[in-house]
């Protein structure tokens, strides 16, 4: 027979604990890897964080667009008074996926990066908000859009793989 005391305590605890979803944490940035990936610290934990609403150019993309996106992220983080992490989930590489309150919006607005079209937005209105920010940045030629834009990283990687597999002509 099951001792009900072992079930009663955890179940009643749910009524007394206020779960705040999505979960948020104050963080400190330890390192910026590229335009959308950071090493962060919150509490005793160090985590590699991928900002999941944006898609920054790869560091190795031509014309220095990846380096530009990284420097832009560093500047935006430095200008933030407080960094609040909104936790999402983990990706296939084990990175924490999340968003820093107000950072992704600024990065898109200033033309440092574009929004990630496959991101899980909370609503269609949120996705339209990010689309509108990107459209305005393009029209004003902010950041990367002022130097000709950049190729979406997934398309750039695909092209790079295809070009790498081609046989040399004789």
CA pair distance 109, 103, nearest whole angstrom: 10
**Phi, psi for residue 157 in degrees, rounded to 5:** -65, -40
Q: Which string of DSSP letters, residue by residue, matches 142-157? A: -GGGGGT----HHHHH
Q: How confident is the model at residue 165 (pLDDT cuts 50, 70, 90)?
A: low
Work out the percent of the chain whose per-residue pLDDT is above 90.
43
DSSP, collapsed to helix, strand or coil, labels residue 46 as strand
Average pLDDT over residues 123-129: 91
Predicted confidence (pLDDT) at residue 167 exceeds the cutoff of 50 = no
User: Which residue in 15, 17, 54, 21 sits closest to 35, CA to CA?
Assistant: 54
Q: Rounded CA gap, 111 and 134, in Å? A: 7
Residue found by looking up tokens 């031509």 in the block: 62
From residue 152, alpha-carbon distances to 2, 25, 39, 63 in Å are 56, 30, 23, 14
Q: Map out the domains of the chain with their CATH numbers.
A: 20-146 (2.40.50.90)
| CA 113, 82, 34, 67 torsion-angle sign | positive
| Residue 90 bridge partners (DSSP) | 96
Q: Rounded to a whole number, what is the distance in angstroms from the first to the last CA of the chain?
A: 79
Within 10 A of 18 (CB to CB), how many other CB atoms are there?
Answer: 5
Report pLDDT for 79: 93
For the residues 5-19, what does the mean pLDDT come to? Answer: 48
Task: Report which of 161, 156, 106 is spatially closest to residue 134, judged by C-alpha positions.
Answer: 106
With b for 16 or more beta-carbon neighbours within 10 A and e for fewer, the 123-141 pattern comes to eeeebeebeebbeebbeee
Average pLDDT, the chain: 82
DSSP letter for 136, please. H
pTM here is 0.79
């Amino acid at each position: 027979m099951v001792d009900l005391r072992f079930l009663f305590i955890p179940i009643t605890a749910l009524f007394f604990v206020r779960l705040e979803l999505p979960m948020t944490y104050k963080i400190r940035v330890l390192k910026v890897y590229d335009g959308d990936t950071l090493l962060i610290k919150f509490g005793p934990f160090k985590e590699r964080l991928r900002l999941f609403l944006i898609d920054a150019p790869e560091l190795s993309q031509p014309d220095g667009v990846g380096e530009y996106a990284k420097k832009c992220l560093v500047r935006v983080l430095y200008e933030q008074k407080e960094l609040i992490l909104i936790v999402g989930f983990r990706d296939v590489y084990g990175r924490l996926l999340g968003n820093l309150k107000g950072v992704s919006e600024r990065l898109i607005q200033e033309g440092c990066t574009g929004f990630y079209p496959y991101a899980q937005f909370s609503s269609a209105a949120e996705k339209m908000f990010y689309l509108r920010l990107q459209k305005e940045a393009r029209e004003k030629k902010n950041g990367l859009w002022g130097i000709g834009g950049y190729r979406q990283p997934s398309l750039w990687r695909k092209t790079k793989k295809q070009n790498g597999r081609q046989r040399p002509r004789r």
